[in-house]
């Protein structure tokens, strides 16, 4: 395998080896987004200056719901306090709750398992407003600042208002990476020139397969199978298909079943392909093996 130069950018290297993006979205059905405006370190959600009681609450409650914690920030203007989102992602009927906190200690009064369970008392906090989150955490990898800030600026100039910087979304080699609420779409390699087309796709709730890393509500093999299915059927609307089940047929072979909005069932068979060895972080000559997949059959 060819080795990059010591000062390489991981985004350039990933493009040079034509690394596929599909199936690289971080799988988690529950995500927690806490506004935190202080300097972000490389591992910001664990290395920060939050009050100790708040840190303990986030760790304990987050573990109870198997949630992934992200920090977010945006220009505050005259706004005071902090925003906290709880996102429960699914292929249909995702739920996003917004809590406006006077201080971080207000978190201690929330019951995350009850929120995730959909208890009616939290219905007042439900929001359908689209939020766009762009990773800009350059302390994790310089590419997130180089590309993330440019994308953030282009989105703001295009009039996107519900826009946040966020910490590591995984896969900085695909920077800039973006996550959408409430749909839980993870996109990568978005250039500022792509912004008008991206906005059109989001407004129409149409998947943009060319830059899709996956939907975070799906495990890796389902992310891959969904793209194969949509390529074969040329159906790109988010509401067209719902994941029904995944079965293991043999070692490293899966059968992924979807149901269409018309009630038709579709089956995609996926198998593991030879893994890809690459260098996923800028300036770090430390190789990593990345799983790869291929489609054996699709409708």
What is the pLDDT at residue 52? 97
What string of DSSP letters covers 223-249? Answer: HHHHHHHHHHHT--BTTSEEEEEEEEE
What is the pLDDT at residue 1? 62
Contacts of 184 (CB under 8 A, 6+ apart): 31, 87, 89, 94, 215, 216, 217
What proportions of the chain, in percent to the nearest 5, are helix, strand and coil? 30, 30, 40
Handedness of CA 179, 182, 184, 190 (dihedral sign): negative
pTM: 0.96
Contact 215, 26 (CB under 8 A): no
Residues of the chain with pLDDT under 50: none
Segment holding 207, helix H or strand E: none
What string of DSSP letters covers 111-158? Answer: -HHHHHTT-GGGGGGB----EEEEE--TTT-HHHHHHHHHHHHHHHHT
Max CA separation in the chain (angstroms): 58
**pLDDT tens-digit map of 112-164:** 999 999 999 999 999 999 999 999 999 999 999 999 999 999 999 999 989 99
What is the pLDDT at residue 78? 77
């Amino acid at each position: 395998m060819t080795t990059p130069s010591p000062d390489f950018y991981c985004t350039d290297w990933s493009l040079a080896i034509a690394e596929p993006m599909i199936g690289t979205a971080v799988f988690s059905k529950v995500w927690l987004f806490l506004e935190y405006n202080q300097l972000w370190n490389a591992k910001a959600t664990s290395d920060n200056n939050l009050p100790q009681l708040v840190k303990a609450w986030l760790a304990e409650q987050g573990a109870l719901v198997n949630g992934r914690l992200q920090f977010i920030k945006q220009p505050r203007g005259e706004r005071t306090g902090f925003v906290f989102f709880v996102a429960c992602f699914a292929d249909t009927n995702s739920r996003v709750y917004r809590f406006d906190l006077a201080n971080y200690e207000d978190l201690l009064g929330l019951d995350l398992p009850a929120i995730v369970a959909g208890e009616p008392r939290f219905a007042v906090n439900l929001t359908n407003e689209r939020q766009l989150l762009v990773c800009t955490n350059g302390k994790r990898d310089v590419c997130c600042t180089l590309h993330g800030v440019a994308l953030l600026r282009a989105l703001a100039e295009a009039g996107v208002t519900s826009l946040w910087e966020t910490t590591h979304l995984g896969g900085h080699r695909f920077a800039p990476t973006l996550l959408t609420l409430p749909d839980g779409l993870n996109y990568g390699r978005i250039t500022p020139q792509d912004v008008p087309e991206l906005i059109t796709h989001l407004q129409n709730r149409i998947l943009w397969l060319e830059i899709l890393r996956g939907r975070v509500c799906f495990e890796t093999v389902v992310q891959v199978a969904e793209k194969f299915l949509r390529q074969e059927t040329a159906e790109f609307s988010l509401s067209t298909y719902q994941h029904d089940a995944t079965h293991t047929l043999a070692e490293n072979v899966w059968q992924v079943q979807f149901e269409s909005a018309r009630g038709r069932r579709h089956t995609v068979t996926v198998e593991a392909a030879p893994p890809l060895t690459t260098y996923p972080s800028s300036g770090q000559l430390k190789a990593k093996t990345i799983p790869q997949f291929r489609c054996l059959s699709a409708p």
